[in-house]
């Protein structure tokens, strides 16, 4: 079957793949949904093994895939459920470290090819860090192909012992891509008034309130903006375990920051923003960075993980863990309208070079073909 064929060759059964997802962050879950849709459209049978709440949130069955509930656990019952779901599959494709390890356990003793995509890097300290390295080694040495969403993830897989590690073509799914609001000139002041940013710059950050997202650094940087006139307002959209601690700091230090919880109107928020902020301590192919560039919003980001390769010269990049550098970059950009316009133009050009969803599916199918097509006898 060629990568772009829509049907299996005459007399052959359709390729059957199982996509294995753990709890699933937003990036990997949206990727699996997009991939499932593209594979189904090309005549591939797709089963997505993931917790039931992931199907509710991302709608794998809505794009024609079968969904099998498999808890995010490596206990024997979960591994047995995954093993049963993989029975008869031509190929299994796991996304993320923990999902990949469960797939390794479920496929033990079988010759089913395993493809692994690493979307991000597992972070831990001490004994847990050692445990995660052991998992990584077991996974990459079992997988036929490891796809990494960034070049440093590919390098990490190779250092860990991968037989075949490649850079993945991962598109920003169309459902995540900001679209121009119907009436941005009317909507922009309305959103800014709702957020309390009338007459002052509006800075937007979006993402779960988790360790590693860099929100402590963002609050440290916000202290430097208190003396500006007008004072910028930082709006953070997202929920997570750090919310109480962040809110306490905002109130105690009187920081110009608002936590507005999870929002479904990202295009409208970006349309109203003067700058987008990404202060993370590590990112792969940041969905928010891609949304910002697509929306022509100048971005200030930490130069970590896959961010530099992703944005090129279309964003202001600062060192990880340096709140002063982050604050200064924001202040410079707010005071330089010509630089902001240059970044907008560069952002459009940079986004035009990112893979499309069709290209993403084509690359994955080419890998599947390599692993499932009969090899000619020597």
Tokens of 282: 């590590």
As a whole number of angstroms, the distance between CA 335 and CA 299 comes to: 14
The residues with which 67 forms a beta bridge, in sequence order, are 48
* CA angle (2, 7, 13) in 5-degree steps: 95
The Cα 368–Cα 378 span in angstroms is: 22
Task: For residue 324, give the 3-state DSSP assignment.
Answer: helix
8-state DSSP, 232: P
Q: What pLDDT, on the 0 to 100 scale, is given for residue 10? A: 45
Which neighbouring-strand residues pair with 165? Answer: 146
Q: How far apart are CA 272 and CA 265, in angstroms?
A: 11
Q: How far apart are CA 165 and CA 354, in angstroms?
A: 20
Strand positions, DSSP E, 127-270: 145-148, 165-167, 202-206, 233-237, 257-261
Q: How far apart are the first and last CA of the chain?
A: 22
Mean pLDDT by 10 residues, the chain (378 residues): 46 85 77 96 97 92 96 90 96 95 96 94 77 93 96 94 95 66 72 94 95 95 93 96 97 97 92 97 91 96 94 97 97 97 97 94 97 69
What is the reported pLDDT for 357? 93
CA distance 374 to 331: 59
Which residue carries 């390599």 as its tokens? Answer: 370
The CATH architecture that domain 16-171+356-369 belongs to is: 3-Layer(aba) Sandwich (3.40)
The residues spanned by each domain of the chain are 16-171+356-369, 177-352
Bridge partners (DSSP) of residue 186 are none
Distance CA 298, CA 302 (A): 14
Helical pair 287-294 and 26-41, crossing angle rounded to 10 deg: 70
Instruction: Quote the pLDDT of residue 3.
Output: 42
Q: Which residue has the tokens 């831990």?
A: 124
Instruction: Compute the distance between CA of residue 143 and CA of residue 102 in angstroms, rounded to an integer.
Output: 12
Residues in the chain: 378
The order of strands in the sheet holding 91-95 is 66-69, 45-50, 16-21, 91-95, 114-118, 145-148, 165-167
Q: What is the DSSP string of 189-209?
A: HHHHHHHT-TTS-EEEEES--
Q: Tell me, yes or no, if the two domains 16-171+356-369 and 177-352 fold the same way.
A: yes
Classify domain 177-352 at the CATH topology level: Rossmann fold (3.40.50)
pTM of the model: 0.84
Residue 289: enclosing H or E segment and its boundaries?
helix 287-294
Give the pLDDT score at 300: 98
Predicted local distance difference test score (pLDDT) of residue 176: 61
């Amino acid at each position: 079957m060629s990568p772009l064929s829509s049907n299996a060759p005459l007399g052959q059964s359709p390729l059957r793949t199982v996509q294995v997802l753990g709890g699933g962050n937003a990036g990997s879950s949206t990727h699996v949904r997009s991939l499932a849709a593209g594979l189904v459209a090309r005549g591939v049978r797709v089963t997505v093994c993931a917790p039931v709440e992931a199907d509710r949130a991302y709608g794998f069955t809505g794009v024609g895939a079968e969904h099998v509930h498999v808890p995010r656990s490596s206990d024997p019952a979960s591994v047995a459920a995954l093993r049963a779901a993989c029975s008869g599959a031509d190929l299994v494709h796991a996304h993320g470290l923990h999902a990949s390890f469960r797939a390794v356990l479920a496929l033990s003793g079988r010759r089913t090819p395993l493809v692994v995509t690493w979307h991000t890097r597992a972070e831990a300290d001490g004994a847990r860090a050692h445990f995660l390295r052991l998992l990584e080694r077991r996974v990459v040495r079992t997988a036929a192909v490891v796809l990494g969403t960034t070049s440093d993830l590919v390098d990490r897989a190779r250092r860990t012992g991968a037989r075949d590690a490649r850079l993945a073509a991962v598109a920003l799914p169309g459902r995540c891509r900001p679209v121009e609001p119907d009436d941005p000139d009317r909507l922009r002041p309305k959103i800014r008034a709702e957020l309390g940013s009338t007459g002052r710059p509006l800075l937007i950050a979006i993402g779960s309130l988790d360790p590693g997202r860099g929100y402590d650094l963002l609050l440290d940087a916000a202290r430097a903006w208190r003396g500006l006139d007008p004072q910028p307002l930082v709006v953070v959209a997202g929920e997570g375990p750090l919310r109480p601690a962040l809110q306490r700091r905002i109130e105690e230090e009187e920081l110009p920051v608002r936590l507005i919880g999870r929002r479904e109107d990202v295009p409208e928020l970006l349309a109203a923003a003067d700058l987008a902020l990404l202060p993370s301590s590590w990112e792969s192919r940041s969905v928010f960075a891609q949304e910002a560039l697509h929306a022509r919003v100048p971005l200030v980001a930490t130069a970590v993980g896959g961010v530099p390769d992703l944005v090129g010269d279309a964003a202001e990049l600062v060192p990880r863990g340096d709140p002063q550098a982050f604050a200064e970059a924001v202040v410079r950009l707010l005071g330089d309208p010509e630089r902001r316009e240059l970044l907008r133009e560069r952002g459009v050009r940079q986004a035009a070079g990112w893979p499309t969803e069709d290209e993403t599916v084509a690359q994955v199918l080419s890998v599947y073909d390599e692993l499932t097509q009969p090899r000619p006898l020597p």
